[in-house]
Amino acid sequence: MPQPAPQPIALVVSDVDGTLVTPEKVITPRAKEAVDNLRRSGIRFTITSSRPPRGLKRVIEELKLTDPIPAFNGGVVIQPDFSVVLHETLMSREAAVEAVEIIEAHKVDAWVYNGGSWLVKDRQGPHVERETHTSGFEPIIVASFGGKLDRVAKIVAVTDDFPRMQECEAAIHAGCGQHVSATLSQKYYLDITHPHANKGRAVAILGELLHIPIENIATIGDGSNDVLMFENSGFSIAMGNASPEVQKAAQRVTSSNKEDGFARAMEEFILAGVTK
């Protein structure tokens, strides 16, 4: 039996990778229909992601999104037509320099997002090709990040060596934890942003911009970086592919993103509670 949200929902905020899209980065017909049905029911819908704004263009266009979009885990909030930056929370240069030094000391690859650019040192590095396909644009190859760490929205530590990633994450928290937010968006991606650039704050900003109380906002996600938005929304849903810890942080759990979990969640937990 569906267990819909106990209170009226005016806005749904969805994570993208691992949630709204399949592992192949596809939005299924059922997911599109669910978003359309939300709109027909008077419920607004938007996305938030660790991706840069440019990396969300295809999703925005495919779903015809019209409400503000928090990218970079909330570090930058844009209008969906890219005409206006509504909110921006960037890392300090000192924090960016320190984070890159720690990442490189652990022999982990670093990606730097500066302005609209994605900077990497190795085009053949882990997950660069996958990220290029996902985001729809090419990185800029640099020999060094020196002189390129002003106005940084996000730094990503990238490695498939999970124990090494855990060591790197602990070192980031120990070395510059008061000056950054560092969360895993995937086991192989450690997202580092300004401490106020997180999905919990992103939900608060959306509530302020759209004049919607937090208790009337529903969130859905799969990663540890989604837990803060669960905590800062009135109703929260974890994906079936989320870790046990992330599932425990949410009020409901749906099926995985291989099984149309996003669409099922909208049907069973949001739309089922709408008065016909």
pLDDT tens per residue, the chain (276 residues)? 678 898 999 999 999 999 999 999 999 999 999 999 999 999 999 999 999 999 999 999 999 999 999 999 999 999 999 999 999 999 999 999 999 999 999 999 999 999 889 999 999 999 999 999 988 899 999 999 999 999 999 999 999 999 999 999 999 999 997 899 998 888 899 999 999 999 999 999 999 999 999 999 999 999 999 999 999 999 999 999 999 999 999 999 999 999 999 999 999 999 997 855
The DSSP output letter for 146 is T
- CA 123, distance to chain mean position in Å, is 23
> Residue 181: beta bridge partners?
193
pLDDT at 3: 86
pLDDT at 185: 83
Report the distance separating Cα 65 and Cα 30, nearest Å. 17
Report the distance separating Cα 218 and Cα 274, nearest Å. 13
pTM: 0.89
**With the C-alpha atoms ordered 71, 73, 76, 78, is the resulting torsion angle positive or negative?**
positive
> Which residues, in sequence order, are CB contacts of 244 under 8 Å at separation 6+?
none
pLDDT at 275: 58
Q: How many CA atoms lie within 13 A of 187 on its CB side?
A: 8
And the tokens for 136? Answer: 């729809």
Please give the full DSSP string across 176-245, using - where no structure is assigned.
HTTT-EEEEEETTEEEEE-TT-SHHHHHHHHHHHHT--GGGEEEEE-SGGGHHHHHTSSEEEE-TTS-HH
Report the distance separating Cα 134 and Cα 52, nearest Å. 11
pLDDT at 177: 78
3-state DSSP call for residue 14? strand
Instruction: Tell me how many degrees the CA angle 232-242-191 measures, rounded to the nearest 5.
Output: 65
Domains of the chain: 11-88+197-273 (3.40.50.1000), 93-193 (3.30.1240.10)
